[in-house]
Structure 1
Amino acid sequence: MILLQGRFPPEIRTLLTFATSEKNVEREFNLYNESSVRKLYGSTIEGHLVGCIGVEFLGPDKGEIKHIAVLPQHRGRGIGDKMVNFIKDKHSLSLIYAETDKDAVYFYEKFGFKITSLGEKYPGVERFQCILLTE
């Protein structure tokens, strides 16, 4: 895993569009560069960026996954799991929080997160709260 802050490799734009809208990519990336409580990491295979995970620290041992994405051709290979384990271990997180849509619920559920529906947070879009206690 590599820290992506300060650099904006072209692949990060593609990856972040899987986790946020295309119009928000620059703003979100800039937040990682400007915030002392956010970190953005990349996962590589043979030197190519294939995944990213962004976390915001909510306290000394608590973090919120803000963005997580893996290129479609590399999904199903455990890259997402490795990225979550990386931030959990590197930052000694005892609680990891995420909010997601229906498409990603299975990923978080499979990993062991407790899933709770937040209802229709945006018109026509159901959102889910995902919480993992690691202690």
Structure 2
Amino acid sequence: MKEITSTAVNPTIKKLLSYATLEEKVNEEYKKYTCLPSRKLYSIEVNGDTVSCMGVKFLNPKEAVIKHIAVLPKDRGKGIGSSMIRFLCKNYDIHSIFAETDKEAVNFYSKFGFQITSLGEKYLGVERFLCEFKVQ
């Protein structure tokens, strides 16, 4: 895992973030990761190519929120997303990890061990879910 700190937007990271947030919010979110001390952005490279990213917001020393997590479509299903969450658990002394997601990503979080709670239709026609993981 590599921490992204450069304020110059990496086009591959921008593409990955677009999988996890609205296209028009990508630059704003990237800037938050490089300017706010409570946020960190990480990537994973395979054979020199960036294939995934994970953006985290630290609420306090014991709790974190996964704001964005994305893996290139060709590299999904290989455990890369799970390895990013394991990195977070191993490298920070946190007790709880949260994420809010849509139906498409619920299975990913559920397989990892997150508890899933429906937040209902938060946006018109879109059910959202709160995912919570207690770090052992």
Give TM-score scaled by structure 2 length.
0.97
Residue equivalent to 2:82: 81
Give me the whole-angstrom Cα distance separating, in 2, the residues matched to 1:25 and 1:66: 12
Residue equivalent to 2:2: 2
Give me the whole-angstrom Cα distance separating, in 2, the residues matched to 1:47 and 1:93: 30
Give me the whole-angstrom Cα distance separating, in 2, the residues matched to 1:46 and 1:70: 15
CA deviations on 1:19-38 (whole Å, 9 max, x unpaired) are 00111100000011111100
Q: Which runs of 5+ in 2 are unaligned?
A: none
Residue equivalent to 2:22: 21
Matches within 5 A, 1:49-128: 49-128=50-129
CA deviations on 1:93-117 (whole Å, 9 max, x unpaired) are 2100000000000000000000000
Identity %: 49
How big is the alpha-carbon RMSD for the aligned residues of Structure 1 and Structure 2?
0.8
Give me the whole-angstrom Cα distance separating, in 2, the residues matched to 1:8 and 1:46: 21
2:92 partner letter = H
Give me the whole-angstrom Cα distance separating, in 2, the residues matched to 1:71 and 1:88: 22
* Stretches (4+) displaced over 2 A: none
Matched, 1:11 2:6: no
Give TM-score scaled by structure 1 length.
0.97
1:82 deviates by: 0.2
Give me the whole-angstrom Cα distance separating, in 1, the residues matched to 2:70 and 2:84: 10
1:8 deviates by: 2.4
SS state of the match for residue 31, structure 1? helix
Q: Which runs of 5+ in 1 are unaligned?
A: none
SS state of the match for residue 18, structure 1? helix
Q: How many residues align?
A: 135
